[in-house]
């Protein structure tokens, strides 16, 4: 599957996972990809994308987690956690995410809330490899 086909599949996944309004998440992701260096990781099941995550490479050692999405049929089965571990295995440093209604998911994988009200939160994680060299 080429990059364009993969992004189309991710866009369909985002539409399933993020009701709109408040905002059009696939369009937002496309805008972000036009503005910053990014990476994309996904998990497939029988050739179909069931989880995806866009990573914004702000700087070496500083990453934004953007629009992680797990197909509704596969939620609460560990795929979200698995993809976040894939991100942390690939990159070392500090990860930042802005969440809406999903803080519990990130708290479960050791992100800390640095700002927010429990519904809209900004959360940060620093992985161990990076802490050693900090
Ligand atoms: C949030 C999301 C990525 C989580 O993925 P997932 O595969 O369902 O999560 P996991 O199965 O790995 O969850 C592990 C644990 O995280 C916590 N958790 C998962 N989803 C949660 C949520 N929506 N709110 C609060 N806590 C959550 C639970 O403690 C869960 O353990 P449990 O199922 O034993 O209770 C997924 O539900 C999703 O795509 N939601 C819609 C899009 C979205 O909100 N993305 C986040 C944008 S910042």
pTM, whole model, 2 decimals? 0.93
Q: Tell me the per-residue pLDDT of 77-120, one tens digit each, with 9 for 90 and over.
A: 999 999 999 999 999 999 999 998 899 999 999 999 999 998 99
Ligand 1 center from residue 10 Cα (angstroms) = 17
Ligand 1 center from residue 30 Cα (angstroms) = 23
Distance CA(85)–CA(96), nearest Å, equals 14
Q: Tell me the per-residue pLDDT of 55-77, one tens digit each, with 9 for 90 and over.
A: 999 998 999 999 899 999 999 99
- Ligand 1 site, residue 77, Cβ cutoff 6 A: yes
Sheet holding 120-126, edge to edge: 38-45, 48-59, 62-70, 94-100, 120-126, 112-116
Q: Is 1 helix (H, G, I), strand (E, B) or coil?
A: coil
Task: Indicate which atom in ligand 1 lies nearest the CA of residue 100.
Answer: 48
Residue 134 banded pLDDT, cuts 50, 70, 90: very low
Residue from 63, 67, 80 nearest 27 by CA? 67
In this prediction, residue 132 carries a pLDDT of 54
Question: Which protein residue's CA is at the shortest distance from atom 37 of ligand 1?
Answer: 75
Distance CA(118)–CA(108), nearest Å, equals 14
SS (H, E, C) 17-84: HCCCCCCCHHHHHHHHHHHCCEEEEEEEECCEEEEEEEEEEEECCEEEEEEEEECHHHCCCCHHHHHH
- Structural domains in the chain, CATH included, are 3-133 (3.40.630.30)
**Which token pair is 94?**
């500090």
Which of 26, 66, 76, 111 should be mutated for ligand 1, with most atoms under 8 A from CB? 76
- Ligand 1 site, residue 81, Cβ cutoff 6 A: yes
């Amino acid at each position: 599957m080429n990059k364009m086909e993969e992004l189309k599949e991710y866009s369909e996944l985002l539409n399933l996972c993020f009701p709109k309004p408040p905002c059009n998440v696939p369009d937002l992701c496309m805008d972000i990809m036009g503005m910053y260096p990014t990476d994309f990781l996904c998990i497939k099941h029988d050739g179909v994308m069931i989880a995806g995550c866009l990573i914004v490479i702000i700087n070496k050692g500083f990453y934004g987690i953007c629009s992680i999405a797990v197909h509704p049929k596969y939620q609460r089965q560990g795929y979200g956690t698995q993809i976040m571990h894939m991100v942390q295995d690939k990159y070392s440093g500090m990860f930042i995410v802005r969440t809406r209604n999903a803080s519990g998911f990130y708290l479960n994988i050791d992100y800390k809330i640095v700002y927010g009200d429990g519904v809209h939160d900004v959360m940060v994680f620093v992985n161990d490899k990076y802490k050693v060299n900090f």
